Amino acid sequence: MTRILRVNPLNPSVDAIHEAARAIIDGGTVAFPTETVYGLGASAFNPAAVRKVFEIKGRPSDNPAIVHIASIEQLNDVAAPVSDELLSKFKILWPGPITFVLKGNGKLPKEVTGGLDTVSVRMPAHTVALRLIEAAGVPIAAPSANISGRPSSTLASHVIADMDGKVDFILDGGNTIFGLESTIIDLTKERPRLLRPGAYTVEELSKYFEELDTSDIIISANEAPPSPGLKYKHYAPEKRLVVARDAELMVEAADALRGKKILFICSDETAKLLPSGSMRLAIGSRSDLYRIAQNLFDSLRKIDRSDAEIAVIEPFPERGIGLAVMNRMRKAANMLTADSVESIAKLLG
Ligand code: AMP
Ligand code: MG
């Protein structure tokens, strides 16, 4: 049975944290909010508990989980020692929506690391997550709290839809702050390498990691993926999703294909231009990409709950957090883009 506890995201009750931490200590599983998305956590040093997390998600065992810590001291429990220079950067960027791939120290079970000699580590900037890790007294291995391949969870209702009855606890702290998974930087190679863009932007991070290699954010199908998770399908709704060339094309298509079961996911600005009667989901103003990011995964989940046959989504500028938004959007659409009304029409049955 799953216990769902509502918590104040800024000041969670001691009792709720204590109960959920108890479950972690006892080898259970707890879904909890972070500033990125909801995580599904287990003690990083309990192989059986981590196996449960992977089973619940249907996650392949070669796709390692991020280990979440609540203090810099805990880094020593999970990773090999890092230089003072790196440590000072971690102290600036953590707690925060950024994960670093580091050399492991050989202590974590293979269930967490996928058998790699590296480990990905993050200190989340969310009171509920930090209190939970502190109270459990162990680092928490936590992939995103969604069924593998589905959009990540940004609301407790998403976690409930995917795993009610399978996890021991769900801490419901409301909407997550950024709504996109953490930035991941691999620091185990000569040159720091961006594996996944996130809320910390490339522009910001380049100040801390001068030589940051951003070349493989979007990888082609025949290249060996730099991170195990990148080869798997991601964030995908069950129905066909396509990224429109631009907002103008969406308006044009909505007009030309009136009466067709198409859901238009778009900015508030575009929503106003669509002809009446077209199915639309406005996800925020074009001038506020943080709002778009926060609503993106929820909108992807709504596609399958709507009676639309296909969904068309508006692209946003690939700057700042927009880079991460477009990275998730393109993957969710399986890289499918439409540059004409005909190409949208062709997707309809
Ligand atoms: P999620 O837990 O759903 O946010 O996904 C975590 C991502 O981090 C996946 O794409 C993993 O493949 C990736 N990851 C975790 N550990 C490592 C590692 N040691 N090296 C490279 N990528 C990793
Ligand atoms: Mg995930």
Ligand 1 cavity residues, CB under 6 Å: 63-66, 101, 116, 118-120, 143-144, 181, 184, 195, 227-230
The pLDDT value given to residue 234: 75
For residue 170, the cross-strand partners are: 4, 31
Angle (CA) 190-196-198 rounded to 5° is: 120
Range from 4-13, 221-230, 275-284, 286-295 carrying the lowest mean pLDDT: 221-230
Strands 30-32 and 39-43: antiparallel
What's the pLDDT at 236?
82
Q: How far is the CA of 339 from the centre of ligand 1 (A)?
A: 33
pLDDT over threshold 80, residue 223? no
Distance from residue 327's CA to the centre of ligand 1 (Å): 16
Between the CA of 182 and the centroid of ligand 1 the distance, in Å, is 10
Confidence of residue 349 (pLDDT cuts 50, 70, 90): confident
**Shortest-distance Cα residue to atom 7 of ligand 1:** 229
Looking at residue 225, its pLDDT comes to: 52
Task: Tell me which residue of 183, 198, 196 sits closest to 228, measured CA to CA.
Answer: 196
Percentage above 90 pLDDT, the chain: 90
pLDDT tier for residue 222 given thresholds of 50, 70 and 90: very low
CA of 124 relative to ligand 1 center, distance in Å: 15
Q: Tell me the whole-structure pTM to 2 decimals.
A: 0.94
CA of 144 to the centre of ligand 2 (A): 4
Per-residue confidence at 220, pLDDT binned at 50, 70, 90?
A: very low
What is the number of the ligand closest to the CA of 185? 1
Q: Which of 62-66, 199-203, 258-262, 263-267 has the lowest mean pLDDT?
A: 199-203
Residue 226 has pLDDT above 80, yes or no: no
Q: What is the pLDDT of residue 203?
A: 86
Q: Atom of ligand 1 at shortest distance to CA of 228?
A: 12
Residue whose Cα lies nearest atom 5 of ligand 1: it is 143
Considering every ligand atom shown, identify the ligand nearest to the alpha carbon of residue 39 and give its number. 1
Question: Please, which pLDDT band fits residue 230 given cuts at 50, 70 and 90?
Answer: low
Tens digits of residue pLDDT in 16-49? 999 999 999 999 999 999 999 999 999 999 999 9
CB proximity list for 109: less than 8 A, separation 6 or greater: 44, 45, 46, 47, 50
| Secondary structure string (H, E, C) spanning the chain | CCEEEECCCCCCCHHHHHHHHHHHHCCCCEEECCCCCCEEEEECCCHHHHHHHHHHHCCCCCCCCCEECCCCCCHHHHECCCCHHHHHHHHHHCCCCEEEEEEECCCCCHHHHCCCCEEEEECCCCHHHHHHHHHHCCCEECCECCCCCCCCCCCHHHHHHHHCCCCCEEEECCCCCCCCCCEEEECCCCCCEEEECCCCCHHHHHHHCCCCECCCCCCCCCCCCCCHHHHCCCCCCCCEEEEECCHHHHHHHHHHCCCCCEEEEECHHHHHHCCCCCEEEECCCCCCHHHHHHHHHHHHHHHHHCCCCEEEECCCCCCCHHHHHHHHHHHHCCCCEECCHHHHHCCCC
Using a CB cutoff of 5 Å, list residues around ligand 2, an ion. 144
pLDDT band for position 78 (cuts 50, 70, 90): very high
Measure 215 CA to ligand 2 centroid, in angstroms: 21
Q: Check residue 210 and give its pLDDT.
A: 87
Q: Domains (ranges, CATH) in the chain?
A: 3-205 (3.90.870.10), 240-347 (3.40.50.11030)
Query: What per-residue confidence (pLDDT) applies to 219?
Result: 41
- Residues 41-70: what's their mean pLDDT? 97
Q: In the predicted model, what is the mean pLDDT of residues 99-104?
A: 98
Ligand with an atom nearest the CA of residue 228: 1
Please tell me the distance between residue 229's alpha carbon and the centre of ligand 1 in angstroms: 6
Average pLDDT of span 325-335: 93
Per-residue pLDDT tens for 115-171? 999 999 999 999 999 999 999 999 999 999 999 999 999 999 999 999 999 999 999
Ligand nearest to the CA of 231: 1
Ligand 1 atom with the shortest distance to the CA of 142: 2
Measured from the Cα of 37, ligand 1's closest atom is: 4
Mean pLDDT estimate for the chain: 94
Residue nearest atom 21 in ligand 1 by C-alpha distance: 227
